Amino acid sequence: MPRHKAPLFCSFCRRESSVVEKLISGPGIYICDACVEACNRILAGRPVPPFPGFEALSDAALLAALRPSERAVETVREVLQEQVDLLRARGVSWGAIGDAMGISRQAAWERFS
C-alpha cells in the first residue's frame, strides 16, 4: 500500500513538524521537543501547566487541530492494520486476534481482511 506524504504532527500537542524544533517518531506516533521537555519536567517532579481543555481553545484553534487529529487517527489505524497483517502472516487465527481486541472473530475479519 503506497504511503502519501502528509505533514507530520506531534501526537500529543498536535503541532506540525514545520513549527517545532525536532519531531521524534515512534511506531505510528510522534513527539516534539516541547512535549519531551514537558515529560522530562514531569519525571523530575517539576510542575507542568495543566492542559486547559478543549473548551479553552478558540474556534480557529479547534479547527486547526482537526487535521492533525484526523492524521493521528489515520496513522494509528495504519499501525493496527500492519500488526494484524503480520499476525495473519504468522498464522494467528481471526479468533485469537478478535479475542485480543475484545471483539468477535467475525468482527475482526470484517474490519481487517
At residue 51, φ and ψ (nearest 5 deg) are -70, 125
Domain enclosing residue 12, as ranges: 7-51
How many domains does the structure of the chain reveal?
2
Q: What is the pTM of this model?
A: 0.62
> What pLDDT, in 10s, does the model give residues 13-23?
888 888 899 99
**What averages of pLDDT result for each successive group of 10 residues across the chain (113 residues)?**
67 86 88 92 88 86 86 87 97 97 97 95
Residue 62 CA to residue 111 CA, distance in Å, equals: 30
Both 112 and 73 in one domain: the answer is yes
Query: Distance of alpha carbon 14 from its chain centroid, rounded?
Result: 10
| Residue 3, pLDDT score | 55
The answer as to whether 56 is a domain residue is no
> Do the Cβ atoms of 32 and 26 come closer than 8 Å?
no
| Residue 1, pLDDT score | 46
